[in-house]
Amino acid sequence: MAFQVKIHQIRAFVEVARQGSIRGASRMLNMSQPALSKSIQELEEGLAAQLFFRRSKGVTLT
């Protein structure tokens, strides 16, 4: 069965990209950081692609 992107994963991706950090995005989405990280991780695994470079001071798009 093919991977299906979920709307919450798209929202998470867009907000992390906008904010440049998982922490900032989790605040904007009213989600815990672990839940947001899991959502992004599942999206990356499903797409078989790294979407963000993770750094100590935030994230940037690949």
* Predicted local distance difference test score (pLDDT) of residue 49: 97
* Predicted local distance difference test score (pLDDT) of residue 1: 72
In a domain, 41, yes or no: yes
* Predicted local distance difference test score (pLDDT) of residue 27: 98
* Predicted local distance difference test score (pLDDT) of residue 5: 96
Domain tally for the chain?
1
Tokens of 14: 């867009």
Q: What are phi and psi of 21, to 5 degrees?
A: -160, 150
In a domain, 33, yes or no: yes
Can you tell me whether residue 40 is helix, strand or coil?
A: helix
Collect the ranges in the chain with pLDDT lower than 50.
none
* Predicted local distance difference test score (pLDDT) of residue 37: 97
Domain that holds residue 42: 7-61
Can you tell me whether residue 44 is helix, strand or coil?
A: helix
4: Cβ contacts below 8 Å, ≥ 6 apart = 46
* Predicted local distance difference test score (pLDDT) of residue 2: 85
Q: Scanning the structure block, which residue is given the tokens 């790294």?
A: 50
Q: What is the C-alpha separation between 39 and 22, in angstroms, rounded? A: 11
